Amino acid sequence: MKFGIILETKEYEKAWNAFRFASASMKNGHEVKVFLMGEAVECENLSHEKYDVSGQFRTYIDAGGIVLACGTCLKSRQMDSTEACPISTMNDCIKMVEWADKVITF
């Protein structure tokens, strides 16, 4: 199955769980794409003593996971894209939703 995940929060526990779900889904043979929107574009560098978001992000990426980040949201935070988190558009989000069998939001 193909899962499209839209993450809109940088709340530690929710973001941590989103990337845990993404990694677990891939381990179970599913295809996964994650679209970061709003404050979630900050997730690549989020760390907390209990909820290591950046660690789960890296685990997902290292397993071959795909992350797309809203370019407008990055720019509004004066952030640049990274190799793991490239600038994307709403059209890319639409394409991900069309591609997915299921869309999950966190």
Number of Cβ atoms within 10 Å of the Cβ of 77: 12
Is 35 within 8 Å of 4 (Cβ atoms)?
yes
Asked whether residue 65 is domain-assigned, the answer is: yes
Number of Cβ atoms within 10 Å of the Cβ of 64: 9
pLDDT per residue as tens digits for the range 47-80: 899 999 999 999 999 999 999 999 999 999 998 8
Is 5 within 8 Å of 43 (Cβ atoms)?
no
Q: Which pLDDT band, with edges at 50, 70 and 90, does 86 fall under? A: confident
Shortest CA distance to 10 belongs to which of 79, 66, 92, 65?
79
Asked whether residue 93 is domain-assigned, the answer is: yes
Asked whether residue 31 is domain-assigned, the answer is: yes
Full residue range of the structural domain in which residue 89 is found = 2-98
- Which domain CATH number covers 80? 3.40.1260.10
Please give the mean pLDDT across all residues of the chain.
95
